[in-house]
Amino acid sequence: MARSLFLQAVSICFALFFSLSLSAPSGALEGTTGFSKRASALDDLWRSIPNTQKAGGDSALYFKIDQSKTDAWGITFLYGCTALMISDPEHVVVAHMQEINSQACLSLSDTPTVEKFISDKLEPATDFFDPGPNTRVELIYSSQQSGTPRLDLFINFLTDTWGLDESSIRRWAMAGGSGTGDAPGSPQGKAVIQWVAGNGQPKGTLKVFLGSSPSQENPIREDNF
């Protein structure tokens, strides 16, 4: 009798343990699924870009477009910082200049800092190609300023040194909520260049996105080539 009760107790414990072991992963997966929901299609696109194809810190990255495949490039973080997105059907440059104070934008107002970024980062990246009739530049900067933003230094380099027509440069003043942080409550803006490969003709479509909310998902540039 005692042996029978013992075996019954063991059987119940085993069944309970087995039931819990099956239900635990289900709960964990539900939690992961909830956290992985995307706010928008642009958010999905930005998150799909490899980190090696996103400019962050003080950097300027050059990429040759493979027109046979769809690809994308972006900026890691915009909150208070300065960024450039240079694009044409064959070439992409994404550049980011770090701000030491996102509320004051001291770097953009400091002439030696901007000049050093241009000479050390931006100029080497643009040395890979010459601007053409389809080359466009998006110059993104914070509207929160301390002093005078030296946008003129970027424009002078792009036009006088690199040879780009000034009409091909667009300036975008972004408020503090235009960043791309992932932390809860952080800004959710996205800066992306995308090449969408065509099937034969046309070769493809070049799209540039700059949005600080899900409602701003339409590209600011969309050209077929």
The DSSP annotation for 146-190 comes to SS---HHHHHHIIIIIS---GGGEEEEEE-TT--B--STT--B-E
Residues 158 and 122 reside in one and the same domain: yes
Residues 29 and 102 reside in one and the same domain: no
Residues 17 and 112 reside in one and the same domain: no
DSSP assigned state of 53: G
Residues 14 and 95 reside in one and the same domain: no
pLDDT for position 42? 84
Residues 70 and 93 reside in one and the same domain: yes
Decide if pLDDT at 87 tops 50.
yes
Please tell me the distance from the alpha carbon of residue 219 to that of residue 7, in angstroms, as a whole number: 68
Beta bridge partners of 171: 139
> How many domains are there within the chain?
2
Task: Say if CB 56 and CB 179 are below 8 A apart.
Answer: no
Residues 32 and 118 reside in one and the same domain: no
- Which of 10-14, 95-99, 150-154, 158-162 has the weakest average pLDDT? 10-14
Read off the CATH number of the domain in which 205 is found.
Answer: 3.30.1330
Q: Which tens digit of pLDDT belongs to each residue from 38-68?
A: 457 888 899 899 999 999 999 999 999 999 9
- Which of 2-6, 92-96, 104-108, 144-148 has the weakest average pLDDT? 2-6
What would you measure as the largest C-alpha separation in the chain, in angstroms? Answer: 98
- Tokens, residue 79: 């909150």
**Containing domain of residue 170, as a range?**
41-224
Residues 101 and 136 reside in one and the same domain: yes
Beta bridge partners of 205: 196, 224
Mean pLDDT of the region 134-159: 90
Residues 180 and 141 reside in one and the same domain: yes
pLDDT for position 76? 86
pLDDT for position 202? 75
pLDDT for position 27? 26
Q: Which tens digit of pLDDT belongs to each residue from 169-219?
A: 999 987 654 444 444 444 456 899 999 998 776 789 999 998 755 556 789
Residues 18 and 94 reside in one and the same domain: no
pLDDT for position 24? 27
Residues 31 and 138 reside in one and the same domain: no
Residues 127 and 19 reside in one and the same domain: no
pLDDT for position 176? 53
Residues 88 and 157 reside in one and the same domain: yes
Tokens 């909520």 correspond to 177
- Tokens, residue 168: 């091909």
- Tokens, residue 2: 């005692």
